[in-house]
A and B are shown apart, each in its own frame.
Chain A
Amino acid sequence: MGNYLVAMSVTAGIYALMALGVNLTWGLAGMVNLGLAGFFAVGGYVTALLTKAGAAIPVGMVAGALVAALAGAVVALITARLRADYLAIVTLGFSESVRIVAANEIWLTNGSDGIAGIRGPWRATVSPTAYNLIFLAIVLSVLIVVLFVMHRLAAAPFGRVLRALRDDEDVAAVAGKTVLLFKVKAFAIGAGVLGLAGTLYVHDTSYIAPDIFAPLLTINIVLALVLGGVGNNAGAVVGAVGLVILLEGSRFAAPLLPFLSAAQIAAIRELLISGLLLVILRILPGGLVPERVAPE
Chain B
Amino acid sequence: MTAALSDVPQLVLNGVMSGAILTVPAIGLTAIYAVLRFPNFAVASHATVGAFAGYLANVMLGWPLVPAALAAFLVAGVIGVVSDWVVLRPLRPAGLITVTIASVALMIALENLVRLGFGNALRDYDLPILRDWRFAGLRVGPQQLEDLAIAVVAVGVLFAVLHLTRVGKAMRAVADNPTLAAIKGIDAAKIALLVNFVAMGLAGLGGMLIGLDTSIDPLTGFRTLLAVFAAAVVGGLGSIPGAVMGALTVGIAEELSQLALPPDYRTVVGFLAILLVLTMRPRGLLGARSY
Q: Does B215 contact A (CB under 8 A)?
A: no
B interface, over-half SS = helix
Q: Number of contacts between A and B (CB, 8 Å)?
A: 131
Q: Does A5 contact B (CB under 8 A)?
A: no
One of A52-60, A118-126, A241-249, A269-277 contacting the partner: A269-277
Q: Which residues 208-245 of A have a CB within 8 angstroms of B? A: 215-216, 218-219, 222
Query: Given the complex, which residues of A lie within 8 Å of B237, measured CB to CB?
Result: 85
Known A-B contacts A26-B97, A263-B120; the reply to A100 vs B265 at CB < 8 A is: yes
Query: Given the complex, which residues of A lie within 8 Å of B262, measured CB to CB?
Result: 104
Name 18 A/B residue pairs within 8 A (Cβ), A-sorted: A32-B101, A34-B104, A81-B282, A83-B96, A85-B33, A85-B39, A85-B100, A93-B270, A93-B274, A96-B226, A100-B265, A104-B262, A267-B113, A267-B115, A271-B116, A274-B109, A278-B102, A281-B91
Q: Does B61 contact A (CB under 8 A)?
A: no
Query: Given the complex, which residues of A lie within 8 Å of B278, measured CB to CB?
Result: 78-79, 82, 86, 90
- In the complex, what's the smallest C-beta–C-beta distance from A110 to chain B, in angstroms? 15
Q: Does B197 contact A (CB under 8 A)?
A: no
Known A-B contacts A264-B115, A274-B109; the reply to A88 vs B268 at CB < 8 A is: no
Known A-B contacts A26-B97, A93-B271; the reply to A267 vs B105 at CB < 8 A is: no
> Do residues A263 and B267 form an inter-chain contact, with CB atoms below 8 A?
no
Known A-B contacts A94-B271, A104-B262, A285-B94; the reply to A271 vs B282 at CB < 8 A is: no
Q: Does A137 contact B (CB under 8 A)?
A: no
Q: Does B78 contact A (CB under 8 A)?
A: no
Query: Given the complex, which residues of B lie within 8 Å of A267, measured CB to CB?
Result: 112-113, 115-116
> Do residues A83 and B109 form an inter-chain contact, with CB atoms below 8 A?
no
Query: Given the complex, which residues of A lie within 8 Å of B112, measured CB to CB?
Result: 267-268, 270-271, 274
Q: Which residues 123-164 of B have a CB within 8 angstroms of A? A: none
- In the complex, what's the smallest C-beta–C-beta distance from B136 to chain A, in angstroms? 34
- In the complex, what's the smallest C-beta–C-beta distance from B15 to chain A, in angstroms? 19
> Do residues B119 and A92 form an inter-chain contact, with CB atoms below 8 A?
no
**Besides A79-B278, A97-B271, A264-B119, 11 other CB < 8 A contacts?**
A26-B97, A94-B271, A96-B226, A270-B108, A273-B108, A274-B106, A274-B109, A275-B109, A281-B105, A282-B90, A282-B91
Q: Does B38 contact A (CB under 8 A)?
A: yes
Q: Does A84 contact B (CB under 8 A)?
A: yes
CB nearest neighbor in A for B223 = A96
Known A-B contacts A92-B41, A93-B226, A275-B109; the reply to A84 vs B97 at CB < 8 A is: yes
Q: Does B82 contact A (CB under 8 A)?
A: no
Q: Does A127 contact B (CB under 8 A)?
A: no
Distance in angstroms between the alpha carbons of A270 and B108 in the assembled complex = 7
5 pairs of A and B residues whose beta carbons are closest in the complex: A267-B115, A93-B271, A274-B109, A267-B112, A274-B105
Distance in angstroms between the alpha carbons of A30 and B94 in the assembled complex = 13
> Do residues A89 and B105 form an inter-chain contact, with CB atoms below 8 A?
no
Known A-B contacts A96-B267, A270-B112; the reply to A83 vs B100 at CB < 8 A is: no
Known A-B contacts A94-B271, A261-B119, A278-B106; the reply to A84 vs B282 at CB < 8 A is: no
Q: Does B98 contact A (CB under 8 A)?
A: yes
Q: Does A103 contact B (CB under 8 A)?
A: yes
> Do residues A90 and B274 form an inter-chain contact, with CB atoms below 8 A?
yes
Q: Which residues 87-136 of A have a CB within 8 angstroms of B? A: 88-90, 92-94, 96-97, 100-101, 103-104
> Do residues B264 and A100 form an inter-chain contact, with CB atoms below 8 A?
yes
Distance in angstroms between the alpha carbons of A219 and B90 in the assembled complex = 20
CB nearest neighbor in A for B273 = A93
Q: Does B35 contact A (CB under 8 A)?
A: no
Q: Does B279 contact A (CB under 8 A)?
A: yes
Q: Does B181 contact A (CB under 8 A)?
A: no
Known A-B contacts A100-B268, A215-B222; the reply to A32 vs B39 at CB < 8 A is: no
Query: Given the complex, which residues of B lie within 8 Å of A78, measured CB to CB?
Result: 275, 278-279
Q: Does B229 contact A (CB under 8 A)?
A: yes
Q: Which one, B102, B233, B267, B270, contacts A281 given CB within 8 A? A: B102
CB nearest neighbor in A for B262 = A104
CB nearest neighbor in A for B91 = A281
Distance in angstroms between the alpha carbons of A85 and B55 in the assembled complex = 33
- In the complex, what's the smallest C-beta–C-beta distance from B267 to chain A, in angstroms? 6
User: C-beta contact mask, B247-281 vs A, less than 8 Å → 1, else 0?
Assistant: 00000000000000010110110110011001100
Distance in angstroms between the alpha carbons of A92 and B230 in the assembled complex = 12
> Do residues B91 and A89 form an inter-chain contact, with CB atoms below 8 A?
no
- In the complex, what's the smallest C-beta–C-beta distance from A263 to chain B, in angstroms? 5
Distance in angstroms between the alpha carbons of A85 and B33 in the assembled complex = 10
- In the complex, what's the smallest C-beta–C-beta distance from A196 to chain B, in angstroms? 23
